[in-house]
Amino acid sequence: MPLVQTLRERLRGYRPRLEAVVFGLSLLGVLDVVHLLIQQARTFENGCLGGSALGGGSSIFDCAAVTAGAGSKLLGVPNTTWGLGFYGMVGVLTVAVFWVVPKVRAWIHGARIGLLTGGIAYSAYLTYLQIGPLGTLCLLCLGSALITTLLFAGQVALLASSPTSPPDSMSSRLVKRQVALFVYCAAAAAVLVGMDLVYFDETSAAAPQPRSASESAAPAQCELDDSKTPLQDQGASLVGFQDITAGSNEAGVTVIEYFDPNCPHCKDFHQVMKQVVEAHRDEVRFVYKPFPLRRSSLPEIQALYVAAQSDKFNEMLEAQYARQGPGGIGMQDLRAIAEEIDLDPSVLSERVEQNEYRDQVLQQRKRAVKVGVDSTPTVLINGHFVESRTQKCLNTFIEQAKSGTLGGTASG
């Protein structure tokens, strides 16, 4: 009984410094999740942190793959939503521990202990998925796991320490100080969230937009992307037996296109690519590589692989482009497309829902990021990254690849 009574007394008491640390960590967790949401909306175009100079562009970190991979949802709800709710609830319970009477305080402590225990268990599971099955890391997700661990450690410290203030009394000075602390910390967090949103909104607006392949004014010269190193094996290591291909498999020229069915520029470029494929079908191997920019693209990409098994890839891709929208295409639309192109809708939906191709797509994306693919559409010709994607320039590069002179700058 003495142990139980001691524990009860500790749950009823108040420790201002430790509670301030817990509250601050909960706000830090909110900031971490908000930043993750911002970068996710930007498709992690500059790495996990939003700036390659900060280490977000390292090949061991692929936040896009992690946030779209296994374990990215719990009960159908994205982990980012759970994260905001988790840290917000920890903050609310911490304020409640301060305001309520001692008898209720013990119950609030118990609720927070349960919440943090579940949080650290789930964080450990997500960290295991990154290190194990996914084989890549999300820097912001690891940061969230660290914050959750510190919160749990703070709660353990609260239980292990004796109350600073007696359970049944709290000085007016302490009350004023804690209220001021909560208000100032919450205000600072709100300001930081606002600055984060404004900064990345402005950088997105100021950043040059990718050039559409259908731009009427073609450049005077056809340029390869000199900022990216050509692949030594001419891109052969990127091509596997499960890839969707067109043209001649015996050709000495390989054109690889990375695309996302929800990318507007990919939709425009598709019309250019169709003409190039038609012109060089007998002498070039064309490889189509879906590259998901966001998790909503994964069902559509898997549907493309299912359709390719029945030689319906082109029909499926064009139908997806025709229905392209900001929120992606749902299963109902994919089933409708299947009916239009003479595929069994039930078979299609079953295979997509079973995620037959999810791991393949994410691993393919990971390899692409390692060699320098960071946007869509991206085109490689015999391992050279292409900057100018007009039909005229692509034809020029293909002819150079056939003659073995591809490289540098070619006249357009």
Two tokens, residue 323: 């229905």
**How far is residue 262's CA from residue 322's CA, in Å, rounded to a whole number?**
10
Q: How confident is the model at residue 55 (pLDDT cuts 50, 70, 90)?
A: very low
Q: What's residue 181's pLDDT?
A: 86
Q: What's residue 43's pLDDT?
A: 65
Over residues 359-368, mean pLDDT? 89
Residues of the chain with CATH 3.40.30.10: 221-411
Q: What's residue 166's pLDDT?
A: 52
Phi and psi at residue 385, to the nearest 5° = -75, 135
Q: Which residues contact 29 (CB under 8 A, 6 or more apart)?
A: 83, 86, 87, 90, 144, 147, 148, 151
Where b means 16+ CB within 10 Å and e means fewer, 51-83 reads eeeeebbeeebbbbbbbbbbbbeeeeeebbebb
Q: Which residues contact 249 (CB under 8 A, 6 or more apart)?
A: 285
- pLDDT over 90 at 103, yes or no: no
Q: What's residue 220's pLDDT?
A: 52
Instruction: For residue range 238-292, list pLDDT tens digits in order.
Output: 998 889 999 988 888 999 999 999 888 999 999 999 999 999 989 999 999 999 8
- pLDDT over 90 at 410, yes or no: no
Q: What's residue 45's pLDDT?
A: 64
- pLDDT over 60 at 339, yes or no: yes
Q: Is the domain 221-411 a CATH 3.40.30.10 member?
A: yes
**How far is residue 248's CA from residue 253's CA, in Å, rounded to a whole number?**
9
Two tokens, residue 158: 């609260």
- pLDDT over 80 at 162, yes or no: no
Q: What's residue 11's pLDDT?
A: 73
Q: Tell me the DSSP string of 295-310.
A: GGGHHHHHHHHHHHTT
Q: What's residue 40's pLDDT?
A: 78
Say whether 247 sits in a helix, a strand or coil. strand
Two tokens, residue 102: 């001692």
Closest among 337, 342, 348, 266 to 302, alpha carbons compared: 348
Mean of pLDDT over the chain: 83
Angle at 321 between CA 313 and CA 401, to 5 degrees: 60
Over residues 60-65, mean pLDDT? 72
**How far is residue 289's CA from residue 363's CA, in Å, rounded to a whole number?**
12
Residues of the chain with CATH 1.20.1440.130: 2-206
Counting residues of the chain whose pLDDT is more than 70, the rounded percentage is 84
Note if the pTM is more than 0.75: no
The CATH classification of domain 2-206, taken from the options 3.90.226.10, 3.30.70.1730, 3.20.10.10, 1.20.1440.130: 1.20.1440.130
- pLDDT over 80 at 216, yes or no: no
Phi and psi at residue 340, to the nearest 5° = -65, -35
Instruction: For residue range 135-157, list pLDDT tens digits in order.
Output: 778 889 999 999 999 999 988 88
